[in-house]
Structure 1
Amino acid sequence: MKLLEMIRNARLYCMEMIATVGVKGILVKGWNESVASLRLLASKAMNLPQTNLDLAKYHYLNNNIWDAICRLKMVMFFEPTQYPEINYYLGRCYYESSKYTKAKVYLDRYLESSHGVFVTEAQFMLAVITGAVGQITAIPHTFIKISGRRLAAIYTKRVGDGEEKGPEFEIVKCVESFMLLRQYLKEIDQPQGHEVLDIGCGIGTVGELCRTYDIANTVTGVDLSEGMIAIAAGLSLYVAGHGKVAVYDQARVMDVYQYFQEFSSLHKFNMLIAFNFLGTTLDLQHFFKGCSGIAEDDAVLAVTFVEDMESNFSPVLKKFKYSVQDVKDSATQNGWSAVREHGMAERLKLMIFRRSQATNKSS
C-alpha cells in the first residue's frame, strides 16, 4: 500500500509540474534543469513523509487548514511514530477549526510523547478546550507570530487589490483612542514634540496617526510579528518641507519585554502607546514595570484593553480581559498615575497614565 501511495504521489507531482509549465516548457528548460528536476522529484519520492510534513506546515501557516490536515494524515499513514509533532499540528489544526474533541485527542497524544517542543502551546489549547482558562497567564508567542503573519498577508493582498483593510485591524478603534489621547495632550499643553514608543505596533496605524497629526519627533515601533513589522517599516508620508518621510524611525521585530530590558539604558521615551497590546498577557505588573524602566520623567502612557469584572482569558475574544481596578493597581505600584479613563464600544477601555518624576528617581 505504501509503495502504491508513493507512486501515486510521484505521479501527482509530475502532473503538477506539467500543469505549471506545460510540456513545451519542460522540453525547453534544457538538459541540466531537466536533470535537476528529476533529481528533485526522486528525492521527494524517496522521502514523501517529510515532503508532506513540509507542505502541511506551509498550508497551516497560510491558513489552509484542511489541506494541512490531509497532508498530516498522509504522513501519519506513512510513518505513524517517526514524527511525534504530527499530533501537535493535527491538534492545532482541529483547535483552530473549533473541532475541540478531535483536537484534544491529538494534543493529549502529543503531550504523552517525548517531543517537548510545543508543550506550552499544547497546554494552552487544552486549557481553552477543557475550560481551565484560569490556568492561562499568557498567549504563546508562536500563536501571536502566526496570527501576525496571517494578518500581514491579508493586509498585503487587500491593499494590493485596492480593497479596504478590514475590521481585523481595528483601525476605527485605534483612531478613536488616538484622538482622545491627542485631546489630552492639548489639555496639558504638550501637543507636539514627543519621542513615541509604539508597543505592539502591528501594521503601523498608531505611527501613521502620530505623523499625520504631528505629535511626534520620533516614532519607534516594536512587534513580535515579522510580517507586521515589514508593513510598518515600509510606511511613509509626505511632510511639508521634508518630502517623503518614513513613519517609523525604527521598527524592530522583538518581544516587547526583551526590548524593555535591552534598551531601557539606551533610550527613554516620553510617550508610550500600547493600543490592543495588553490582551496578550495577564502579567500587568511586568508590563507597567517595563514601561517605567524605559520612560522619561513625567512621561505619558496610553493603553487600551477590554474591560471586565475580573481579569482573565476570554476564549471567545482570544485575548485577556481586565478589571479597571487591576490595571490601576498594577500601574500605581510601578509609578504610574491614572489621569484619564474613556469607555468605548464593545467594552473597550482607554486609560491614560502619567509617570511620576519623584517615583522615577527613587526606582
Structure 2
Amino acid sequence: MFNIKKAKQFAVNKYNALYKETIALFEKFKNLLNTNIEIGLYHFYKGNISDAKLRFWLISIFHSNLPIVWYNIGRCHFAVGNTNKAYTYLTKTLKLDSNYEEASYYIKKMTNPVPITKLPKNLIKQYFDYTGEYFVEHWLIAKQYRGHEFVHMVITKIFNDSASGLNILDLGCGTGICGHFLKMHNIGNRITGIDISNRMLNIARGCFIKGKPVYNELIHMEMTEFLKQEKEYLYDVIIFAEVLHYLYDLQTELELAKKSTSKKGVIVCLIRRKEGEGVDFVNKGDYFRHSESYIKHVAKKINMQINYMSYCKIYGSQVDGILFALQHPQKKSKNLT
C-alpha cells in the first residue's frame, strides 16, 4: 500500500512538473514572438524595411495563422512601393481576420474607392510608440518644430500677466515639449498631459524645471476618451498642438473641449492648412488638412468665437499651418486676429 501511495505521489509530482514546464515553454515562445514583432516594428519605423520584412518572414514560418504577421509584411511592401505584393498580403490578413482595421485602411490607401475619413487609432499609437525616442532630435532640432512657440505666443496674447496661474490641459502632449516650454516661461500653475502613447509619456515624465516635474499629471489615454470623462474642474487653456490633423471632422473633439473649458478659457489649436475649401486627406503622410473656411464653419456650429487666427509654418519654413484660438462668446470681444 505504501508503494502505491508513493507511486501516485510520484505521478502527481511528475504531472505538475510537466505542466509547469509546458506553461514556461509556452510563455517563452509567446515572449519570443512578441520580441520578434517588436524588433520588426523597430526596424520598420527606423526605415530599415528589408530588415523589418525579414524579421516578419521568420515569424511567419512558425506563426502562419497570425494576421499581424501578414499585415506587417504587406505594409513593408507598401513602404517600398510594391503595391501588388502589399495588396496580396493585406488581403491575406483580412481572410484571417476580416475586422483588421489597419489592413483595410492600407487597402483603401491603394485602391481609394471612397475618400478616407478615419485613421486607425492603433496606427497613430504605434507610430509614436516607435518614433518617440528620437522626437526631439528629428522633429524639434532637425525639422525645427515650432508648435510650442506658437502656443506660448497665443496664451500670452490672451492672458497677459495672469498666465502664470492657469490650469492647462495639453492634449497629445507627446514628449512634453509644449508643457516644458510653457513652464520655462512661467506659464501655467497646473499642467495635465494626455497622450495615446505611453512611451512618449515616459519621456514627458522626465521633464523637470528647477527640480519639479513640468506636468502635475500625465495620463495614458486617447484624447477623445479623456474629454468624454467627467472632470473635477474646468481648464483655462486646452491645447491641441499638431494632433487634430489625425481627425477628419473636428467638431466632436472641439465641442467636448468646449465643455471642459472655463468661461474665460481658451482652446488653442495648431493644424495643417488646406488651401481653398473643406478638408483633404494626405495619402503619403497619413493625415488630414483643414481649410480656414472649415475652421470658421466648425466654430460657428459649436457656438465659439475665434479670438485669434493666423497662417504659419509648423516646421521651420515648411508645412503650412493654421494657428487659432477659440473662446466662449464674450460680452466684449478681444479679437486678436
The TM-score, its normalising length taken from structure 2, stands at 0.79
Would you say 1:272 and 2:238 are equivalent positions? yes
Correspondence for 2:125: 145
Shift of 1:200: 0.5
Q: Secondary structure at the match of 1:325?
A: helix
Q: Which of these residues, 255, 261, 264, is aligned with residue 228 of structure 2? A: 261
Partner Cα distance (2:139, 2:188) in 1: 26
Would you say 1:328 and 2:301 are equivalent positions? no
Deviation larger for 70-79 or 196-205: 70-79
Q: Secondary structure at the match of 1:222?
A: strand
Correspondence for 2:311: 343
Correspondence for 2:56: 72
Gap runs ≥5 in structure 2: 1-20, 314-318, 332-337
Correspondence for 2:6: none
Q: Is the 8 A contact 2:133 2:200 kept in 1?
A: no
Gap runs ≥5 in structure 1: 1-38, 156-163, 239-243, 359-363
Q: Secondary structure at the match of 1:344?
A: strand
Would you say 1:57 and 2:20 are equivalent positions? no
Shift of 1:79: 5.8
Partner Cα distance (2:67, 2:121) in 1: 21
Would you say 1:232 and 2:212 are equivalent positions? no
Partner Cα distance (2:156, 2:31) in 1: 56
Would you say 1:307 and 2:273 are equivalent positions? yes
Partner Cα distance (1:75, 1:218) in 2: 46
Assess, with a 3 A threshold, how the Cα gap between structure 1 residues 132 and 198 changes in structure 2: closer, same or farther. farther
Partner Cα distance (2:242, 2:139) in 1: 14
Q: Is the 8 A contact 2:165 2:187 kept in 1?
A: yes
Q: Secondary structure at the match of 1:103?
A: helix
Q: Is the 8 A contact 2:169 2:192 kept in 1?
A: yes
Partner Cα distance (2:140, 2:71) in 1: 27
Partner Cα distance (2:74, 2:35) in 1: 17
Correspondence for 2:16: none
Alignment of 1:1-363 (within 5 A): 53-64=33-44, 65-77=49-61, 80=64, 82-113=65-96, 115-116=97-98, 119-132=100-113, 134=115, 136-155=116-135, 165-167=137-139, 172-185=145-158, 190-238=162-210, 244-264=211-231, 266-308=232-274, 309=276, 310-345=278-313, 346-356=319-329
Deviation larger for 62-71 or 266-275: 62-71
Partner Cα distance (1:313, 1:304) in 2: 17
Amino acid in the other structure paired with 1:93: C
Amino acid in the other structure paired with 1:249: N
Amino acid in the other structure paired with 2:70: N
Partner Cα distance (2:67, 2:246) in 1: 28
Q: Is the 8 A contact 1:222 1:252 kept in 2?
A: yes
Deviation larger for 64-73 or 219-228: 64-73
Shift of 1:71: 3.3
Q: Secondary structure at the match of 2:189?
A: strand
Amino acid in the other structure paired with 2:138: G
Q: Secondary structure at the match of 2:43?
A: coil
Q: Secondary structure at the match of 1:88?
A: helix
Q: Secondary structure at the match of 2:190?
A: strand
Q: Is the 8 A contact 1:52 1:71 kept in 2?
A: no
Q: CA RMSD in A?
A: 2.8
Q: Is the 8 A contact 1:312 1:320 kept in 2?
A: yes
Runs in 1 of length 4+ with deviation above 6 angstroms? none
Deviations 1:195-252 (A, max 9, x none): 10001101111101221111211000000000111111221001xxxxx221000011
Q: Is the 8 A contact 2:74 2:90 kept in 1?
A: yes
Deviation larger for 204-213 or 168-177: 168-177
Assess, with a 3 A threshold, how the Cα gap between structure 1 residues 296 and 104 changes in structure 2: closer, same or farther. same
The TM-score, its normalising length taken from structure 1, stands at 0.73
Partner Cα distance (1:147, 1:83) in 2: 21
Amino acid in the other structure paired with 1:235: C
Deviations 1:164-202 (A, max 9, x none): 723268663214312431442256x64331110001101
Amino acid in the other structure paired with 1:178: V
Q: Is the 8 A contact 1:133 1:313 kept in 2?
A: no
Deviations 1:15-57 (A, max 9, x none): xxxxxxxxxxxxxxxxxxxxxxxx99x959x97xx78744541
Q: Is the 8 A contact 1:181 1:352 kept in 2?
A: yes
Q: Is the 8 A contact 1:56 1:68 kept in 2?
A: no
Assess, with a 3 A threshold, how the Cα gap between structure 1 residues 270 and 182 changes in structure 2: closer, same or farther. closer
Q: Is the 8 A contact 1:302 1:353 kept in 2?
A: yes
Correspondence for 2:335: none
Assess, with a 3 A threshold, how the Cα gap between structure 1 residues 63 and 77 changes in structure 2: closer, same or farther. closer
Partner Cα distance (1:216, 1:78) in 2: 53
Partner Cα distance (2:95, 2:175) in 1: 39
Assess, with a 3 A threshold, how the Cα gap between structure 1 residues 165 and 331 changes in structure 2: closer, same or farther. same
Q: Secondary structure at the match of 2:164?
A: coil
Deviation larger for 174-183 or 121-130: 174-183
Deviations 1:86-136 (A, max 9, x none): 3222113323444332211111122233x245x2111111111223561x2
